[in-house]
Amino acid sequence: MYKELSFEEKYNAIGKKESIYEGVFITAVTTTGIFCRPSCRAKKPKAENVIFFSNPQKAIQNGFRPCKVCKPMDLEGEEPDYIKDIIHELQENPYLRIKDFDLRQRGIEPGQIRRWFKKYHNITFHSYQRMLRINKAYNQIKGGNSVTNTAFGLGYESLSGFNEGCKGIFGKSPKSIIEKNVINIFRFTTKLGPMFACATKKGLCLLEFTDRRMLETEFQDLCKRLNAVILPGKNRFLDLVQIQVLEYFEGKRKDFTIPLHMPGTDFQQSVWKVLLQIPYGETWSYKKQAIKMNKPKAVRAVATANGYNRIAFIVPCHRVIGSNGDLTGYGGGLGRKKWLLQLESKNSGKAIQEEIRFEVP
């Protein structure tokens, strides 16, 4: 069975204030009667005043109340309802332009929504709207519509303004943007923290927690390999991944049915193909994975290729562990890796026999 995190490991984790432990445990403080996320910004309590619980519900059952700073009853990084509504409205109607006046008419302070988009998307709210319109323009021009009709149909007041918008995103004039591809991106929240999903017309090409350290590198690599730019926009695979990820986290789904688009070297693709063969609820060593590929001496190269996997838990690199049983090498954080393995072990009906040792880096 899986070995639980020790008290010391959990206590050290809350000192780091990192979101990679989101959903793994809850910190309750006996002197205040409050429970928090592992990443809470509040002052670190003394060890003798701390009790750890596996989830918020157990903390409440033991008489603790949620922290008002980190709000542990909410999904981390979840959009407020007013932002959910606006994003949905813009996705459905990219012709729409919501200005500061319109926000105030809705009772929304413009500075508030600007700060949210800057924090969670690293762009301004108006840039987000502009990118949605450019994505719509790309699809129309690629579908055969003229540049002029596209520009004025999307509400641009001049062709020069439309040209500047296209060059700013694609680096090309509107007539040349069809040479490029588009990767659509969407941010959504899960019980283990917020995630980015990216998809092309062929399938899902990225699914990562937003705090993954290599995320910017992965975005750049995808754009280079696919000759593409990343833009918000409608994509059926992005709708599908949200549904299936929720079902997976609830223990209701063991197999994903989303088409995948995974550009990489031939060796990387062969490694990822073997990852997809690891059954739900099981773990393999890197050595076993290499043997399955008929490359028993390529253990280190296999481990490196696993690290370049961009599609978390759908392409299940979390099911690969060290030969000595250590949980090692997971870009989403070892706490999440342990949580995912426990979820699958619990719902597979075939508990893994070997003891898994968990080490906080």
For the stretch 125-175, pLDDT in tens is 989 998 998 998 998 998 889 999 988 888 888 888 888 888 888 888 888
For the stretch 22-36, pLDDT in tens is 778 889 999 999 999
Q: Which one is catalytic: 36, 67, 205, 317? A: 317
pLDDT score of 353: 40
pLDDT score of 335: 80
pTM above 0.85, yes or no: no
Contacts with 222 (C-beta within 8 Å, 6 or more apart), sequence order = 183, 198, 205, 206, 228, 230, 263, 310
Q: Calculate the average pLDDT of the chain.
A: 87
pLDDT score of 33: 92
Domain 7-66 classified CATH 3.40.50.11720?
A: no
**pLDDT at 354 exceeding the cut of 70:** no
Instruction: Band the pLDDT of 327: cuts 50, 70, 90.
Output: confident
Task: Enter the tokens of residue 51.
Answer: 């009790």
For the stretch 66-117, pLDDT in tens is 998 888 887 777 888 889 899 989 988 878 889 999 999 999 999 989 998 9
Instruction: Band the pLDDT of 55: cuts 50, 70, 90.
Output: confident
Phi–psi pair at 190, nearest 5 degrees: -135, 170
Annotated catalytic, 317?
yes
Instruction: Band the pLDDT of 17: cuts 50, 70, 90.
Output: low
**pLDDT at 246 exceeding the cut of 50:** yes
Instruction: Band the pLDDT of 200: cuts 50, 70, 90.
Output: very high
Give the torsion through C-alpha atoms of 19, 110, 233, 136, to 10 deg: -160
Structural fold of domain 264-348: Arc Repressor Mutant, subunit A (1.10.10)
Task: Enter the tokens of residue 242.
Answer: 């949200």
Domains 76-174 and 180-263 in one fold: no
Count Cβ neighbours within 10 Å for each residue of 272-310 and write b for 16 or more, e otherwise: bebbeebebbebbebbbbbbbbebeebbebbbebbebbb
How, if at all, do strands 181-188 and 195-199 pair? antiparallel
pLDDT score of 16: 74
**pLDDT at 329 exceeding the cut of 90:** no
Query: For the chain, where are the alpha helices, taking DSSP H only?
Result: 7-16, 56-61, 81-92, 100-105, 110-121, 125-142, 147-153, 159-170, 215-226, 236-249, 266-275, 286-292, 299-307, 334-348
Q: Which CATH architecture has domain 180-263?
A: 2-Layer Sandwich (3.30)
Instruction: Band the pLDDT of 244: cuts 50, 70, 90.
Output: very high
SS3 70: coil
For the chain, give every domain's residue range: 7-66, 76-174, 180-263, 264-348
For the chain, give the percent of residues with pLDDT over 70. 94
CA angle centred on 241, ends 232 and 198, rounded to 5°: 35
Domain 76-174 is classified in which CATH homologous superfamily? Homeodomain-like (1.10.10.60)
